[in-house]
Protein backbone atom coordinates (compact mmCIF):
# COMPACT_ATOMS: atom_id res chain seq x y z
CA UNK A 1 0.00 0.00 0.00
CA UNK A 2 1.13 3.55 -0.71
CA UNK A 3 0.15 6.79 0.93
CA UNK A 4 0.26 8.92 -2.19
CA UNK A 5 -2.86 10.80 -3.21
CA UNK A 6 -4.88 8.79 -5.77
CA UNK A 7 -4.78 10.24 -9.25
CA UNK A 8 -7.88 11.71 -10.83
CA UNK A 9 -9.50 9.83 -13.69
CA UNK A 10 -8.10 12.35 -16.16
CA UNK A 11 -4.62 11.81 -14.76
CA UNK A 12 -4.97 8.04 -14.91
CA UNK A 13 -5.82 8.09 -18.62
CA UNK A 14 -3.25 10.77 -19.50
CA UNK A 15 -0.37 9.42 -21.62
CA UNK A 16 1.57 12.68 -21.84
CA UNK A 17 5.29 11.91 -21.94
CA UNK A 18 4.68 8.25 -22.89
CA UNK A 19 5.94 6.62 -26.08
CA UNK A 20 4.25 3.97 -28.20
CA UNK A 21 5.12 1.67 -31.11
CA UNK A 22 2.14 0.41 -33.12
CA UNK A 23 2.66 -2.30 -35.74
CA UNK A 24 0.30 -2.47 -38.69
CA UNK A 25 -0.35 1.17 -37.84
CA UNK A 26 -0.76 2.66 -41.29
CA UNK A 27 -4.49 1.98 -41.59
CA UNK A 28 -7.52 0.29 -40.08
CA UNK A 29 -7.47 -0.86 -36.48
CA UNK A 30 -3.78 -0.09 -36.05
CA UNK A 31 -4.21 3.51 -37.12
CA UNK A 32 -7.29 3.84 -34.90
CA UNK A 33 -5.26 2.72 -31.88
CA UNK A 34 -2.34 4.96 -32.80
CA UNK A 35 -4.78 7.86 -32.93
CA UNK A 36 -6.18 6.94 -29.51
CA UNK A 37 -2.76 6.76 -27.87
CA UNK A 38 -1.67 9.99 -29.52
CA UNK A 39 -4.86 11.79 -28.53
CA UNK A 40 -4.16 10.72 -24.95
CA UNK A 41 -0.74 12.39 -25.19
CA UNK A 42 1.70 9.67 -26.27
CA UNK A 43 4.41 10.11 -28.88
CA UNK A 44 3.80 7.54 -31.61
CA UNK A 45 5.78 5.48 -34.09
CA UNK A 46 3.70 3.50 -36.57
CA UNK A 47 5.12 0.74 -38.72
CA UNK A 48 4.03 -1.41 -41.65
CA UNK A 49 5.61 -2.63 -44.87
CA UNK A 50 4.74 0.26 -47.21
CA UNK A 51 6.36 3.69 -46.80
CA UNK A 52 3.67 5.40 -48.87
CA UNK A 53 0.90 4.19 -46.55
CA UNK A 54 2.92 5.19 -43.50
CA UNK A 55 3.57 8.69 -44.82
CA UNK A 56 -0.16 9.19 -45.32
CA UNK A 57 -0.97 7.84 -41.84
CA UNK A 58 1.61 10.05 -40.12
CA UNK A 59 0.36 13.09 -42.02
CA UNK A 60 -3.12 12.31 -40.71
CA UNK A 61 -1.83 11.90 -37.15
CA UNK A 62 0.18 15.11 -37.28
CA UNK A 63 -2.81 17.01 -38.65
CA UNK A 64 -4.63 15.96 -35.47
CA UNK A 65 -1.84 17.42 -33.34
CA UNK A 66 -0.18 14.08 -32.56
CA UNK A 67 3.61 13.72 -32.34
CA UNK A 68 4.11 10.87 -34.81
CA UNK A 69 6.81 9.22 -36.92
CA UNK A 70 7.06 6.06 -39.01
CA UNK A 71 9.44 3.18 -39.74
CA UNK A 72 8.86 0.77 -42.62
CA UNK A 73 9.37 -2.86 -41.59
CA UNK A 74 7.99 -6.30 -42.38
CA UNK A 75 6.99 -7.91 -39.09
CA UNK A 76 7.14 -11.35 -40.69
CA UNK A 77 10.93 -11.04 -41.09
CA UNK A 78 13.11 -11.50 -38.02
CA UNK A 79 15.95 -9.23 -39.14
CA UNK A 80 13.52 -6.40 -39.87
CA UNK A 81 11.75 -6.88 -36.53
CA UNK A 82 15.04 -6.64 -34.66
CA UNK A 83 16.06 -3.55 -36.63
CA UNK A 84 12.63 -2.02 -35.94
CA UNK A 85 13.06 -2.46 -32.19
CA UNK A 86 16.50 -0.85 -32.21
CA UNK A 87 15.46 2.07 -34.41
CA UNK A 88 12.27 2.71 -32.44
CA UNK A 89 14.20 2.96 -29.18
CA UNK A 90 16.81 5.16 -30.87
CA UNK A 91 14.14 7.61 -32.00
CA UNK A 92 11.91 7.51 -28.93
CA UNK A 93 14.54 7.00 -26.24
CA UNK A 94 12.49 4.11 -24.87
CA UNK A 95 9.20 2.35 -25.60
CA UNK A 96 6.51 2.51 -22.92
CA UNK A 97 3.70 0.94 -24.97
CA UNK A 98 3.90 -1.76 -27.63
CA UNK A 99 0.85 -2.57 -29.71
CA UNK A 100 1.29 -5.81 -31.67
CA UNK A 101 -1.31 -5.41 -34.40
CA UNK A 102 0.27 -6.41 -37.74
CA UNK A 103 -1.49 -9.50 -39.01
CA UNK A 104 -2.54 -11.63 -41.95
CA UNK A 105 -5.53 -13.80 -42.80
CA UNK A 106 -6.13 -16.54 -45.36
CA UNK A 107 -9.36 -18.18 -46.43
CA UNK A 108 -9.44 -21.78 -47.63
CA UNK A 109 -11.20 -25.01 -46.62
CA UNK A 110 -9.13 -26.85 -44.03
CA UNK A 111 -8.68 -29.88 -46.26
CA UNK A 112 -7.19 -27.71 -49.01
CA UNK A 113 -5.49 -25.03 -46.92
CA UNK A 114 -1.99 -24.44 -48.38
CA UNK A 115 0.79 -25.17 -45.93
CA UNK A 116 2.68 -22.10 -47.11
CA UNK A 117 -0.37 -19.96 -46.34
CA UNK A 118 -0.61 -21.53 -42.87
CA UNK A 119 3.05 -20.69 -42.29
CA UNK A 120 2.59 -17.11 -43.52
CA UNK A 121 -0.27 -16.47 -41.09
CA UNK A 122 1.49 -18.09 -38.12
CA UNK A 123 4.76 -16.34 -38.89
CA UNK A 124 3.26 -12.85 -38.79
CA UNK A 125 0.42 -13.30 -36.29
CA UNK A 126 2.31 -15.27 -33.64
CA UNK A 127 6.06 -15.43 -34.28
CA UNK A 128 6.25 -11.74 -35.13
CA UNK A 129 4.46 -10.79 -31.89
CA UNK A 130 6.89 -12.91 -29.89
CA UNK A 131 10.09 -11.57 -31.46
CA UNK A 132 9.11 -7.91 -31.24
CA UNK A 133 7.82 -8.24 -27.67
CA UNK A 134 11.04 -9.98 -26.66
CA UNK A 135 13.24 -7.32 -28.25
CA UNK A 136 11.34 -4.30 -26.91
CA UNK A 137 11.23 -5.84 -23.44
CA UNK A 138 14.93 -6.70 -23.33
CA UNK A 139 16.08 -3.38 -24.76
CA UNK A 140 13.67 -1.03 -23.00
CA UNK A 141 10.90 -2.31 -20.74
CA UNK A 142 12.76 -4.76 -18.49
CA UNK A 143 15.69 -2.42 -17.76
CA UNK A 144 13.22 0.37 -16.92
CA UNK A 145 10.91 -1.94 -14.92
CA UNK A 146 7.87 -0.61 -16.76
CA UNK A 147 5.86 -1.40 -19.87
CA UNK A 148 2.51 -2.05 -21.48
CA UNK A 149 2.07 -4.64 -24.23
CA UNK A 150 -1.23 -4.84 -26.10
CA UNK A 151 -1.75 -7.78 -28.46
CA UNK A 152 -4.46 -7.78 -31.11
CA UNK A 153 -6.21 -11.11 -31.06
CA UNK A 154 -9.77 -11.60 -32.38
CA UNK A 155 -13.04 -13.21 -31.43
CA UNK A 156 -11.94 -15.74 -34.09
CA UNK A 157 -9.45 -16.92 -31.47
CA UNK A 158 -12.26 -17.87 -29.10
CA UNK A 159 -13.67 -20.71 -31.20
CA UNK A 160 -14.88 -21.69 -34.62
CA UNK A 161 -16.65 -19.74 -37.34
CA UNK A 162 -20.16 -19.36 -38.72
CA UNK A 163 -20.92 -21.74 -41.57
CA UNK A 164 -19.26 -20.54 -44.77
CA UNK A 165 -16.17 -19.00 -43.15
CA UNK A 166 -12.97 -20.99 -43.69
CA UNK A 167 -10.11 -19.27 -41.88
CA UNK A 168 -8.53 -22.10 -39.92
CA UNK A 169 -5.01 -20.65 -39.74
CA UNK A 170 -6.26 -17.23 -38.69
CA UNK A 171 -8.48 -18.64 -35.93
CA UNK A 172 -5.66 -20.84 -34.68
CA UNK A 173 -3.17 -17.98 -34.67
CA UNK A 174 -5.49 -15.71 -32.71
CA UNK A 175 -6.14 -18.43 -30.16
CA UNK A 176 -2.37 -18.67 -29.79
CA UNK A 177 -2.15 -14.89 -29.27
CA UNK A 178 -4.61 -15.10 -26.38
CA UNK A 179 -2.55 -17.71 -24.53
CA UNK A 180 0.70 -15.97 -25.49
CA UNK A 181 -0.77 -12.94 -23.72
CA UNK A 182 -1.61 -14.91 -20.59
CA UNK A 183 1.74 -16.70 -20.37
CA UNK A 184 3.80 -13.58 -21.05
CA UNK A 185 1.85 -11.61 -18.43
CA UNK A 186 2.77 -14.23 -15.85
CA UNK A 187 6.47 -14.14 -16.74
CA UNK A 188 6.89 -10.40 -16.97
CA UNK A 189 4.76 -9.26 -14.05
CA UNK A 190 7.92 -9.11 -11.92
CA UNK A 191 9.20 -6.44 -14.32
CA UNK A 192 6.03 -4.33 -13.93
CA UNK A 193 5.08 -5.09 -17.55
CA UNK A 194 1.39 -5.66 -18.21
CA UNK A 195 0.34 -7.78 -21.20
CA UNK A 196 -3.26 -7.77 -22.41
CA UNK A 197 -5.18 -8.63 -25.56
CA UNK A 198 -7.99 -7.00 -27.51
CA UNK A 199 -10.32 -9.30 -29.44
CA UNK A 200 -12.17 -7.31 -32.09
CA UNK A 201 -15.22 -8.64 -33.84
CA UNK A 202 -16.05 -7.56 -37.38
CA UNK A 203 -14.75 -4.13 -38.36
CA UNK A 204 -14.80 -2.98 -42.00
CA UNK A 205 -11.18 -3.09 -43.18
CA UNK A 206 -9.03 -4.24 -46.07
CA UNK A 207 -8.44 -7.56 -44.29
CA UNK A 208 -12.14 -8.25 -43.70
CA UNK A 209 -13.37 -6.99 -47.06
CA UNK A 210 -13.61 -10.48 -48.57
CA UNK A 211 -15.49 -11.91 -45.60
CA UNK A 212 -17.92 -9.01 -45.45
CA UNK A 213 -18.66 -9.46 -49.15
CA UNK A 214 -19.04 -13.24 -48.93
CA UNK A 215 -21.07 -13.35 -45.72
CA UNK A 216 -22.98 -10.09 -46.15
CA UNK A 217 -22.33 -7.04 -44.01
CA UNK A 218 -25.98 -6.72 -42.97
CA UNK A 219 -26.13 -10.38 -41.96
CA UNK A 220 -22.97 -10.13 -39.88
CA UNK A 221 -24.21 -6.94 -38.23
CA UNK A 222 -27.52 -8.63 -37.43
CA UNK A 223 -25.64 -11.34 -35.49
CA UNK A 224 -24.53 -8.70 -33.00
CA UNK A 225 -26.82 -7.76 -30.09
CA UNK A 226 -25.98 -4.13 -30.91
CA UNK A 227 -26.92 -4.71 -34.54
CA UNK A 228 -23.84 -3.17 -36.12
CA UNK A 229 -20.18 -3.71 -36.99
CA UNK A 230 -17.28 -1.97 -35.28
CA UNK A 231 -16.43 1.59 -36.29
CA UNK A 232 -13.49 4.01 -36.28
CA UNK A 233 -13.62 4.70 -32.53
CA UNK A 234 -14.68 1.43 -30.93
CA UNK A 235 -11.15 0.24 -30.02
CA UNK A 236 -9.95 3.58 -28.69
CA UNK A 237 -11.20 3.34 -25.11
CA UNK A 238 -9.94 -0.16 -24.37
CA UNK A 239 -6.58 0.53 -26.00
CA UNK A 240 -5.98 3.58 -23.81
CA UNK A 241 -7.21 1.72 -20.72
CA UNK A 242 -4.68 -1.08 -21.24
CA UNK A 243 -1.91 1.44 -22.03
CA UNK A 244 -2.49 3.87 -19.18
CA UNK A 245 -2.30 4.13 -15.42
CA UNK A 246 -6.00 3.34 -15.33
CA UNK A 247 -5.12 -0.23 -16.33
CA UNK A 248 -2.03 -0.73 -14.16
CA UNK A 249 -3.62 -3.63 -12.24
CA UNK A 250 -4.95 -5.44 -15.32
CA UNK A 251 -2.72 -8.06 -16.93
CA UNK A 252 -3.06 -11.38 -18.73
CA UNK A 253 -6.60 -10.51 -19.82
CA UNK A 254 -8.48 -10.43 -23.10
CA UNK A 255 -11.54 -8.36 -23.90
CA UNK A 256 -13.87 -8.76 -26.86
CA UNK A 257 -14.93 -5.60 -28.69
CA UNK A 258 -17.56 -7.14 -30.90
CA UNK A 259 -20.98 -5.69 -30.13
CA UNK A 260 -21.76 -8.80 -28.09
CA UNK A 261 -21.28 -11.43 -30.81
CA UNK A 262 -19.12 -13.62 -28.56
CA UNK A 263 -21.83 -13.59 -25.90
CA UNK A 264 -24.31 -14.99 -28.40
CA UNK A 265 -21.87 -17.64 -29.63
CA UNK A 266 -20.60 -18.48 -26.13
CA UNK A 267 -17.00 -17.43 -26.79
The set of catalytic residues is: 170
Q: How many CA atoms lie within 13 A of 131 on its CB side?
A: 22
Torsion of CA 39, 41, 47, 53, to 10 degrees: 40
Contact 79, 87 (CB under 8 A): no
Q: Provide CB contacts within 8 A for 96, sequence distance 6+.
A: 18, 19, 20, 42, 141, 146, 147, 148, 243
CA separation for the pair 241, 12 (Å, rounded): 9
Q: Provide CB contacts within 8 A for 24, sequence distance 6+.
A: 30, 47, 48, 75, 101, 102, 103, 152
Contact 66, 60 (CB under 8 A): no
**Cα 78–chain centre separation:** 19
Contact 214, 248 (CB under 8 A): no
Amino acid sequence: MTNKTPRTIKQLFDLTGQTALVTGGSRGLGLQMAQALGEAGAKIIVTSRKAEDLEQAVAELKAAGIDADWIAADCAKEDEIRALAVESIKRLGHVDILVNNAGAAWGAPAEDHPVEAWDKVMNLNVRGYFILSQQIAKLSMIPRKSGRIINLASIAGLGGNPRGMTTLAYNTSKGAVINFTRALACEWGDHNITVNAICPGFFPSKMTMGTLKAMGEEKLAANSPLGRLGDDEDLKGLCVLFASGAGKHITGQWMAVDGGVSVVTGG
